[in-house]
Amino acid sequence: MSATIQSIETLLVDLPTIRPHKLSMTTMACQTLVIVRMRHSDGIEGLGEGTTIGGLAYGPESPESIKRNIDTYLAPLLIGQPSGNVNALRARLERHARGNMIAKSALETALLDAQGKRLGLSVAELLGGARQTHLPVLWTLASGDTAKDIDEALLRLEQRRHGDFKLKIGANPVKHDVRHVAAIKEALGDRAGVRVDVNQAWDESTAVYGIQALQDAGIELIEQAIPAREHAGLTRLADRFNVPMLADEAVQDARDGLDLARGGFSGAFALKIAKSGGINGVLELAHVAQAAGIGLYGGTLLEGTIGTAASLHAWATLPEMAWGTEMFGPLLLKDDIVVEPLDYREFGVDLPTGPGLGITLDEDKLAHYARK
């Protein structure tokens, strides 16, 4: 008889960041992870993570709502069900619960982790196998201070930890942001690529001015300059400039990807397991992008090690990503809740080995940081 899901526990885990992380909509000094522990009748435990940015500043799910909705609505749909048929369980969640993509992603991750442990396979192997085992990782410069950001970038290059950098802009007047970014690009020169993430902060006319100035400064990629629902505007910007546009909040799932591609968008899609409801959903989006000739970028919602590992297993199954990844979430945190941290080296990170996600919880650290 196949194993069944016996219990699902969710924990809010508050981890301090190494420095304030400034975005257009909030500044973070702490990241809250929602950790899922899914126990099965064969004794196997699957781990998952649901994480967002700045409470409700980023999107409609907060850490507290993720936990409450899993505990109240989603877990009862899964408890008692056979563990191994992830597709059937995904369909069951979709049929009975709208939205809640981060919560669903955490549950799907726990299901895949458990199935991998059960079969002695990594999550990447469950998905057909890894095409790459070392993935490039950029670093986000988000102190808001130009000199500090330059020093931080030069140190990361010297350490051979990151070879490309992203700047979070949009909270300040556009001319201020452009000066800040241009100064950093000038200081780094050809040693590193520099991109920007506007986090939807500009209207289209502001974006036209800002993107032209950023293009002139040598910036190589512009992420989500205008609000997510303005698909036509994003396509106009992609047509107008040589510097590529990266769609992030505008492209949640395969349907969004298809709509943008049909509308003539060219550039790249930021993939995030959290916004697509899990690994299977984000790979569906990736395949739409590949069919349309749109580049891929492995995005993060600043997950901890569990969520980052899940993303890495997904990205590893894809062809080389045109724009690399930003899977640096664990490096932004002062501490971790796992026994063996991810191995960041040579401008990237190694895919974890071992069955499932290849991640083991540190029970003492988890107990210390879990919200009481």
Smallest Cα–Cα separation from 337: which of 362, 319, 314? 362
Residue 80: how many CB atoms within 10 A of its CB? 10
CA atoms within 13 A on the CB side of 20: 9
Q: How many H helices and E strands in the chain?
A: 13, 13
Token pair of 53 as six digits: 């940015």
Q: How far apart are CA 180 and CA 229, in angstroms?
A: 28
Nearest to 310 by CA among 178, 184, 127, 171: 127
The label of the residue with tokens 């492209």 reads 251
141 with 184: CB under 8 angstroms? yes
The residues annotated with a catalytic role in the active site are: 168, 326
Q: In angstroms, rounded to a whole number, what is the distance separating the alpha carbons of residues 212 and 241?
A: 7
CA gap 362, 21 in Å, rounded? 26
Would you give the DSSP letter of residue 370?
B
Helix (H, G, I), strand (E, B) or coil at 242: coil
Neighbouring CB atoms inside 10 A of 37's CB total 16
Question: Are 113 and 358 in contact, with CB atoms under 8 Å apart?
Answer: no
Q: Residue 38: which of 71, 15, 87 has the closest Cα?
A: 71
SS3 content of the chain, % helix, strand, coil (to 5): 40, 20, 35
Check if the beta carbon of residue 22 is closer than 8 Å to that of residue 143: yes
